[in-house]
């Protein structure tokens, strides 16, 4: 099965009537997505909460020596102060209860385990949305009839991977978001929509963390608008657009904390 070509969604079937699942790891954007879907009366049939226990343990081991160098420690401390200074979403979702937004919640230590497949089948999930999760396995993707949609805080395929908001600022490129289907590769699935941030965003966004949250919120609103208006979420030839170049594809990994700090101040001092 080619994971980049799922079954086509019947344009005559209202998208909001499909059985929807949300994959999340408990981050703020997953909570915002659930809140907004409920506000517009889009029912979520299943929430799969990935506690990411094994992933977090291996991640800690692999980057521990990298983070604990003296300069990186100082840089991370400064970034933590700068990024959290103006973050309002953390307070808004402080007492968030998943049970208020979905009756069926599955907690797993690894979202790719067999239990996830069983729940997807039991609830006849037809389409899924990622609200923060690890890389999804091929076996899980195959279980979702119309595919799994990801919201990415960068322009694909130019900025694939991690810390893409930082890398976009470092490269002095256009900020935006991408709504796309996932496949077994990282940020390489079929693109549904691309959005760009307006030029005057710096007038009301004070930190890069807040900027990333804003991009993710805009991507959620873009997706919800498409569902409400029953717009086509099938595969589109996005590369016909002059602003997207299929051959201009780069994968980015974690940015060094010192470079992050430089990028942060580059962001603050650059003109609106």
Catalytic residue IDs:
152
The CA–CA distances, whole Å, from 268 to 19, 84, 166, 211, 264 equal 43, 15, 12, 12, 6
d(CA 179, CA 149): 7
Chain-centre distance of CA 93, in angstroms? 17
Beta-carbon contacts of 183 under 8 Å, excluding residues fewer than 6 positions away, are 3, 4, 141, 189, 190
Distances (CA, A) of 255 to 6, 89, 209, 258: 34, 24, 14, 8
Q: Are 84 and 111 in contact (CB under 8 A)?
A: no
Question: Helix 53-67 to helix 70-84 angle, to the nearest 10 degrees?
Answer: 120
User: Which residues make Cβ contacts (< 8 Å) with residue 212, sequence separation at least 6?
Assistant: 153, 165
Beta strands, E only, 62-144: 105-108, 127-131
């Amino acid at each position: 099965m080619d994971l980049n070509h799922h079954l086509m969604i019947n344009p005559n079937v209202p998208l909001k009537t499909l059985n929807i699942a949300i994959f999340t790891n408990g981050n703020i954007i997953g909570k915002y997505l659930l809140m907004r879907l409920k506000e517009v009366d889009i029912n979520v049939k299943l929430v799969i909460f990935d506690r990411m226990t094994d992933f977090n343990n291996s991640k800690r081991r692999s980057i521990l020596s990298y983070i604990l160098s003296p300069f990186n420690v100082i840089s991370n401390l400064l970034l933590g102060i700068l990024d959290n200074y103006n973050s309002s979403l953390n307070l808004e979702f402080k007492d968030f209860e998943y049970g208020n937004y979905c009756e069926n919640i599955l907690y797993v230590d690894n979202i790719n385990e067999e239990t996830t497949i069983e729940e997807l089948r039991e609830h006849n999930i037809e389409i899924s949305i990622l609200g923060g999760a690890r890389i999804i396995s091929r076996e899980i993707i195959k279980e979702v009839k119309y595919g799994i949609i990801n919201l990415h805080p960068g322009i694909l395929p130019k900025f694939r991977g991690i810390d893409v908001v930082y890398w976009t600022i470092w490269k002095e490129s256009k900020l935006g978001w991408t709504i796309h289907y996932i496949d077994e590769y990282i940020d390489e699935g079929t693109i549904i929509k691309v959005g760009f941030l307006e030029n005057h965003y710096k007038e009301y966004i004070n930190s890069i963390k807040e900027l990333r949250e804003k991009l993710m919120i805009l991507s959620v609103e873009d997706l919800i608008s498409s569902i409400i208006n029953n717009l086509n979420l099938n595969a589109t030839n996005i590369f016909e657009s002059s602003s997207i170049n299929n051959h201009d594809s780069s994968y980015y990994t974690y940015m060094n904390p010192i470079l992050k700090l430089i990028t942060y101040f580059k962001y603050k001092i650059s003109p609106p």
